[in-house]
Structures are given as C-alpha cells and as structure tokens.
C-alpha cells in the first residue's frame, strides 16, 4: 500500500557517501525536522539530471530559509549517488540517499517496475514533505511526467 498523508515515514537504513559509505536511519533523518524527500528513477538518467535534481539544487536556499532539509532518493548505490552529486554540483547539505535494494522505496509503496527498460526495480518519481517524520504532502508523478514532484511545485504548495 502506498504511503499516505498523515502516515509516519517507515524506518529503514539508507546509505550516503560522506567520508565513505555512511548508514542513514530514516527515523533519525526525519525526527524533529521538516524534510522534503524527492525520488528519481535513476541517477544520471535524462529528466533526473536535466530537470529534477537541478531544480532542487537551484531552489535549495529557498527550502533552507524555510527550515526545510532536502533529500534526494534513488534506487542506486551510494557510490553512484556520490558521483551524481559531484557531477551536478549538489550542495553538501543535500542528502543524496541510496536505497540500493529498494527496501525503503517498497516500504513507501512507491516502487516502479522498470524491468522492461533493463533497469529493474526503481522508485517512482515523487516528492513528499514531512514534519517530524509524518507525511504532510505527497506528490507522485503519472508515468512519464515531471510536474508535481518538481522543486517549484513543492515550494508553491508549502503552507
């Protein structure tokens, strides 16, 4: 079942490349904070690299001024996410989270079967906003679209 507004973010261990691969517990990541988590089907893929991640990099200061942390999620490994962050000049304060086996993505109910494209299990393109680990907004894209999970859209819909 897909996570819904009002639901608590499920506990999982993700990875992030910071002085080596570091575990990131989602409970700690979201506890007592405002966080925008956006997910992409894959690092280095066209829309993700040309629009999705760059939009959040460009608008990072606007989220930060509102006291909101920014995290990017992909079903990739931490080394790929680290290389993508470097390639895209992502600020160090943005969490580039690797869900290597897709367990967190499955727990959210937001997995995408991309086996027809040779990509296996991936995350649907989405953005969610949570306060203290509780989902306040959830924006899931229709297949092949990029509208409701953009940084601009999320900023526009924040109270």
Q: Mind telling me the catalytic residues?
A: 48
Q: How far is it, in rounded angstroms, from Cα 142 to Cα 99? A: 21
Residues in Cβ contact with 131 at an 8 Å cutoff, skipping those fewer than 6 apart: 33, 34
CA distance 95 to 111: 20
Taking the C-alpha atoms of residue 80 and residue 86, their distance in angstroms, rounded to an integer, is 10
């Amino acid at each position: 079942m897909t996570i819904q507004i009002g639901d608590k973010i499920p506990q999982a261990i993700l990875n992030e490349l910071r002085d080596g691969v570091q575990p990131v517990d989602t409970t700690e990541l979201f506890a007592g904070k405002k966080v925008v988590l956006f997910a992409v089907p894959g690092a280095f893929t066209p829309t993700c690299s040309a629009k999705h991640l760059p939009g959040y990099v460009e608008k990072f200061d606007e989220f930060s001024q509102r006291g909101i942390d920014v995290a990017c999620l992909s079903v990739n490994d931490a080394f790929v996410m680290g290389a993508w962050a470097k390639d895209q000049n992502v600020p160090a304060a943005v969490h580039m989270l690797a869900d290597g086996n897709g367990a967190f993505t499955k727990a959210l109910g937001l997995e995408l079967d991309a086996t027809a494209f040779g990509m296996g299990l991936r995350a649907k393109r989405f953005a969610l906003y949570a306060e203290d680990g509780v989902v306040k907004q959830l924006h899931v894209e229709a297949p092949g679209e990029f509208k409701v999970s953009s940084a601009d859209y999320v900023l526009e819909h924040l109270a």
